[in-house]
Structure 1
Amino acid sequence: MADEPLISFRNRWTVTSIAVVAAVFVVAAALGFVILPNLGAREKVAGIWDSICRAAGLPQRSAPVETVTSDYKTSQVKLATAVSLKRDQAAIGRGATLAQQCAICHGPTGVSRADSPNLAGQYASVIYKQLRDFKDGVRTNAVMSPFAAKLSEQDMQDLAAYYSYLPRLPSYHPAGEIPVPRIVAGGAPTRGIAPCGSCHGSIENKLGSPWLEGQSELYLKTQLLAFVSGLRRNDISEQMRNVARAMTLEEIDEAAKYYASKPPPYLTTD
């Protein structure tokens, strides 16, 4: 026995060790590549090889692809090509005629006297997108939905051309009257909120983002809360929903009040 080599199949300790290691390997392989992947899989696996690939994180051609669809309509507007960048005088004229139907809510020159949004000087891509979303049922409103449903593609283009042609309300923030809210000037980086002005003007305008200066405080607050609750869902990639849900109610009030600041009537063009 003393002369028998340490590693030898005649040595019972060697045989026992190899057997134990092999058993552990088989059990671990079965758990890691077969049992656990099957327990976590939503669909049946094709075989052992499929289980091994799942455990390793490798996609399988034979595996069915799960398609994720939303339970509501999403905007189909392609902002980059939605409207022409050239000023079309004929379209402006046609839009002016159509806009007579809009005057009761949005004002005869696109500046509302109520809590409807001001459309004068609004970006053409914004006007078109909202009309198209109302028409497609992506955004709903008791007044706008039936009105937009009757509009043709040309009508929406003409209205966008007309309202974007009108002079917009200027920024009006006298020093000391309403301080710039932190959420407007600097955002909240720790919550993933960029400054409002980086999309909505004053700093930069992001395509599809509306001009907010001079809008109704009630309208702005209502829309932000609609994004929070999910009642409004026509923002592309949920951008505004994510921002609004990260804002506090105080920040929503402050932003709405700040943007609603308007110049006296004698300084406006209305």
Structure 2
Amino acid sequence: MNGDSGDRLVSIRNRWTVTSVLVTTATLIVAVLLGFVLLPRLDAGEQVSGIWDSICRAAGLPRRGEPSETVMPDYKTSQVRITSAVPRARNEEAIGRGATLAQQCAICHGPTGVSRADSPNLAGQYASVVYKQLRDFKDGVRVNAVMSPFAVKLSEQDMQDLAAYYSYLPRLPGFHPPASNPAPSIVVNGAPMRGIAPCGSCHGSIENKLGSPWLEGQSELYLKTQLAAFVSGSRQNDINEQMRNVARAMTPDEIDQAANYYANKPPPYPAGQ
């Protein structure tokens, strides 16, 4: 009895079975027509030429012969390829040539690459960073009243040599006594809910991302100025807008804390010691 009922339930003679199949088929056809034909045509106006064109457009596929539109930024972007910016092997001749060229830089960046003003320290800076910034100044991607006229006169070899020299010099280590200068959360933890990675994950102490500068010992004013420039968009030579996105997501307090933390230096030794 159950078997007979089951057979009759799926039989084409059962009006409920036939009705269900017809309704399902009709719904599918209407959905396909709406999703792949009517709506794409309405969205594109008269720009589609047939059903297949509508289906391709709805699926996100390019149409044959459709001109591609390249979106170009309205500002200059860096042309530096970080992975091949500078040779990885140490070159003594390049260091020597860079030392000679660096005499022109000493008035701002210090005779040993450690600035006594608010210019960035270059001693021990990653070679790829020094080269990229010089190249960006030269290309007009980054603009500064002092650096732009200086960099425009540099040759490719000059920039390579300066990068080799400054990366050779001993860098300033971090000075962060736990009791007096604990690391702020933005440096060690970031702000994951706002898409901010820890500063140390790119700028040293935790890890270094290729092309990201060493920040320990830099001027507090310089760090704040650069973060403000990223926020305003007046500095645009960061890779994939990463620093602009990070800086804009940071609070003013976090900017102050990070700048103060990285700028901390050991006290000078008393005279005679």
Structure 2 residue 214 is the aligned partner of structure 1 residue 208: no
The answer on 1:217 being equivalent to 2:186 is: no
Per the normalisation by structure 1, the TM-score is 0.85
Q: Which residue of 2 aligns with 1:94?
A: 97
Counterpart AA for 2:119: S
Question: What is the CA deviation profile of residues 76-104 of structure 1, one whole-angstrom value per residue up to 9, with x for unaligned ones?
Answer: 11111111111111111111111111111
Which residue identity does 2:115 align to in structure 1? S
Amino acid corresponding to residue 85 of structure 2 in structure 1: A
Q: Tell me, in whole angstroms, the C-alpha distance in 2 between the residues paired with 1:216 and 1:232.
A: 18
Residues 238-266 of structure 1 show CA distances to partners (whole Å, capped at 9, x for unaligned) of 11111111111110110000000012233
Of 254, 259, 263, the residue aligned with 2:262 is: 259
Matched, 1:115 2:118: yes
Q: Deviations 1:37-70 (Å, cap 9, x if unpaired)?
A: 2343388223332123212333323322221211
Match of 1:48 among 41, 48, 51: 51
For residues 1-270 of structure 1, the aligned pairs below 5 Å read 31-41=34-44, 44-266=47-269
Aligned to 1:13: none
Q: Give the unaligned 5+ runs of structure 2.
A: 1-11, 13-21
Read off the aligned partner of 1:36 and give its amino acid letter. L
Structure 2: distance between partners of 1:233 and 1:184: 22
| CA distance, structure 2, for counterparts of residue 142 and residue 204 of structure 1 | 32
Could you list the per-position Cα deviations for residues 129-174 of structure 1 after superposition, in whole angstroms to 9, with x for gaps in the alignment?
0000111111111111111000000000010011111111111112
**Aligned residue in 2 for 1:11:** none
SS of corresponding position for 1:80: helix
Instruction: Classify the secondary structure of the residue corresponding to 1:265.
Output: coil
Matches of 2:46 and 2:170 in 1, distance apart? 59
Distance in 1 between residues matched to 2:45 and 2:194, nearest whole Å: 33
Gaps of 5+ in 1: 1-6, 8-17
**Counterpart amino acid of residue 189 in structure 2:** G
- Aligned CA-pair RMSD: 2.4
Amino acid aligned to 1:162: Y
- Cα 1:42–1:207, aligned 2, differ >3 Å: closer, same or farther? farther
SS at match of 2:57: helix
User: Which amino acid in structure 1 is aligned with residue 235 of structure 2?
Assistant: R
Query: Structure 2 CA distance, aligned partners of 1:43 and 1:97?
Result: 67
CA distance in 2, matches of 1:247, 1:58: 38
Residue identity opposite 1:37 in structure 2: P
Alpha-carbon shift at residue 74 of structure 1 (Å): 1.0
Provide the rounded CA distance (Å) in 1 between the counterparts of 2:202 and 2:46.
43
